[in-house]
Amino acid sequence: MAHGTPDWWSGAPKETTYGLADMAELAARLGSPVKWDRRGDVIHIDTFESGFALGATYGYGTNHAEFLSPDYSREGGLSCCLYPGSTSDKMSGIHYDLPRPPYSKIGVEFSFGLNADALYWVLKIDWYTGATHYDARVRYDYPNKRMQYYSNAGAWVTFATGVNLGVTTPIIHTLKLVVDFVNFLYHRCILNQQTWDLSDYAIRATASTASPGFTADIQVWAATGAYQYHYLDNVIITQNEP
């Protein structure tokens, strides 16, 4: 008995529906949070529907707080609400500690809302080899409307100006950084509709005897005396980025 489908199957005409050959599109239609940038192979997704089981929250400053919120979300019914403290460094963030994947291009993506008291949204990726610590970071500098990367000299360097995001509490902005951990270079940064090629820039490298590992941090830094909620959702980590 023959198995499979007829030779003409994939090109069969339809009167009322259309064929779908893209499995990534099928997954998106079935509710996957991986909709915005589908490149890379997913190794971690956090939509906060399971609470904080997948990441560890932390912060600086008096009365900083990190909690789940049903007020806004990009996916599902919950998001992560970050509330920086009112003194000291005034930061609130979440940390992910994963088994280190094989050497490849690694991507980290998240979606966020932007309140007017924000100073920076920071995305930090750390890669440990057992002998070297590679530290890759980008940040959106809201007061100065610019994007910056953390250089191999340990300084913030501007790579884009005039980046004027709309201030909105709902989660409508998405940032993704891809880092080449084969050649230890930045690769690209995407913020909403804009993409920047960062492949000429080296990642900061320092000696470290820490065990091989991989971590990612997302942080919001706030202005002095600010008391505002900052919402975060859909943290997606990928490997084998093109």
State the pLDDT at residue 36.
81
Q: Look up residue 9 and give its DSSP letter.
A: G
Given this model, what pLDDT does residue 17 score? 58
User: What pLDDT does 23 receive?
Assistant: 73
- Cα–Cα dist 115/103, whole Å: 36
Q: Alpha helix locations (H) across 118-203?
A: none
* SS3 state at 120: strand
Distance CA 43, CA 236 (A): 8
Is the Cα dihedral 234, 221, 118, 37 positive or negative?
negative
Q: What is the pLDDT of residue 210?
A: 94
What the chain holds in terms of domains, given with CATH numbers, is 44-239 (2.60.120.200)
CA 145 to chain centre: 19
Amino acid letter, 68? L
Q: Checking DSSP bridges between strand 91-98 and strand 213-222, what pairing results, if any?
A: antiparallel
Contacts of the segment 154-157: beta carbons below 8 A, 24+ positions apart? 154/204, 157/201
Number of H helices, E strands in the chain: 1, 16
Q: Residue 30: its pLDDT value, please? A: 67
Q: Which residue, among 169, 118, 166, 161, has the nearest Cα to 143 in the 3D structure?
A: 118
For residue 29, the model assigns a pLDDT of 74
Q: What is the pLDDT of residue 61?
A: 85
For 28, the token pair is: 């998106």
φ, ψ (nearest 5 deg) of residue 79: -140, 175
Stated pTM of the model: 0.89
Q: For residue 162, what pLDDT is reported?
A: 97
Give ∠ CA 113-48-203 in degrees, rounded to 5.
65
pLDDT in tens, the chain (242 residues): 556 656 555 555 666 656 666 777 777 776 677 778 889 999 999 999 989 999 999 998 888 999 999 999 998 999 999 999 887 779 999 999 999 999 999 999 999 999 998 999 999 999 999 999 999 999 999 999 999 999 999 999 999 999 999 999 999 999 999 999 999 999 999 999 999 999 999 999 999 999 999 999 999 999 876 668 999 999 999 999 99
Which pair of structure tokens corresponds to residue 95?
């940390």
